[in-house]
């Protein structure tokens, strides 16, 4: 009798795990983990960029709170200009993480953006040539903005977009002391400026605006350097699905794995 109970328990556990793997496969999200400062870890977006009059880049980031200094979240270079478009963080001991946008060599001031708490944060940056106006939003709220950040031209086409490293030459010459250390997922790029309500909706219910969406998070569309780890985790983002169902499933599976 004991054996029958045992078999039933094992079978149930197997089914639970199977369900959770399928669940993770369907609704999981892939994250890229950059551990430690290196001049080698990067991910390159395999897409041909158009010329962009406006642009918005959003991503979910988890900074490693053990590191201080400059951290390049992404850099975009074009053949005729290396520092075409970048998002950089500056991490000072026991202070908030500061973020700055760089467009065609023009650097916005570093602005206090979020606590260096090792948690996931949702970050969006947008820029438009009209007035050179720019903004940085963290967890759905604008934390810094301004104008006249380069208004002479569009962001150039056919560039190289690198996650995790600053480029000193077109597509290369990375520097260890400017590398990103932490996790990144759900990077999306639009070739228009998202408005504040769209950014808020993206954070709150993960609805990814389709208009002008140029790149949707997709590991297969990235060349990932082999020492960058790829994890599959329960989505930080629920996508377009029913939130309460998702949460029930995720808690249930977390419990099953722990069990």
Ligand X SMILES: *[C@@H]1O[C@H](CO)[C@@H](O)[C@H](O)[C@H]1NC(C)=O
Q: Which residues bind ligand X (CB under 6 A)?
A: 31, 33, 62, 64, 118, 182-183, 216, 218, 220-221, 231, 233, 242, 244-245
H, E, C per residue of 99-122: EEEEECCEECCCEEEECCCCCEEE
**Which one, 60 or 183, has the nearer CB to ligand X?**
183
CB of 181 to ligand X, least distance (A): 7
**Which one, 156 or 249, has the nearer CB to ligand X?**
249
Residues in the chain: 259
- The DSSP bridge partners found for residue 124 are 58, 137
Identify the DSSP state of 193: P
Distance CA 86, CA 174 (A): 14
CB of 173 to ligand X, least distance (A): 25
Question: In the chain, what is the straight-line distance between the N-terminal and C-terminal CA atoms, in Å?
Answer: 23
CB of 221 to ligand X, least distance (A): 4
CA distances from 219 to 13, 163, 188, 196, 210 (A): 31, 12, 12, 27, 19
**Which one, 1 or 48, has the nearer CB to ligand X?**
48
**Which one, 87 or 103, has the nearer CB to ligand X?**
87
CB of 92 to ligand X, least distance (A): 18
CB of 85 to ligand X, least distance (A): 22
Q: What is the DSSP string of 28-84?
A: EEEEEEE-S--SS--EEE--PPPPBSEEEEEEEEEE-TT--EEEEEEEEEETTEEEE
- Please list, in sequence order, all residues whose beta carbon lies within 8 angstroms of the beta carbon of residue 198, skipping any fewer than 6 positions away: 209
| Dihedral angle, C-alpha 208, 211, 215, 216, nearest 10 ° | 30
CB of 182 to ligand X, least distance (A): 5
**Which one, 53 or 121, has the nearer CB to ligand X?**
121
CB of 223 to ligand X, least distance (A): 11
Query: Which residue, chain included where needed, has tokens 């389709």?
Result: 210
């Amino acid at each position: 009798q004991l054996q029958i109970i045992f078999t039933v328990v094992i079978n149930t556990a197997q089914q639970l795990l199977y369900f959770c793997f399928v669940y993770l496969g369907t609704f999981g999200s892939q994250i890229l983990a950059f551990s430690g400062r290196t001049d080698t870890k990067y991910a390159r977006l395999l897409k041909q960029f158009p010329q962009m009059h406006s642009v918005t880049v959003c991503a979910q980031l988890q900074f490693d709170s053990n590191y201080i200094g400059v951290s390049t979240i992404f850099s975009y270079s074009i053949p005729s200009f290396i520092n075409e478009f970048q998002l950089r963080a500056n991490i000072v001991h026991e202070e908030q993480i500061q973020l700055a946008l760089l467009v065609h060599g023009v650097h916005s001031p570093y602005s206090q953006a979020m606590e260096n708490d090792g948690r996931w944060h949702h970050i969006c940056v947008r820029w438009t040539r009209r007035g050179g106006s720019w903004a940085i939003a963290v967890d759905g709220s604008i934390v810094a903005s301004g104008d006249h950040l380069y208004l002479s031209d569009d962001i150039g086409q056919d560039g190289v977009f690198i996650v995790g490293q600053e480029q000193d030459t077109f597509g290369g010459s990375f520097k260890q002391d400017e590398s990103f250390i932490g996790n990144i997922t759900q990077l999306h790029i639009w070739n228009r400026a998202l408005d504040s309500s769209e950014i808020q909706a993206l954070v709150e219910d993960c609805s990814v605006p389709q208009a002008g969406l140029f790149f949707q998070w997709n590991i297969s569309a990235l060349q990932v350097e082999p020492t960058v780890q790829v994890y599959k985790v329960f989505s930080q983002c629920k996508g377009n699905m029913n939130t309460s169902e998702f949460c029930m499933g995720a808690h249930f599976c977390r419990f099953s794995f722990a069990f």
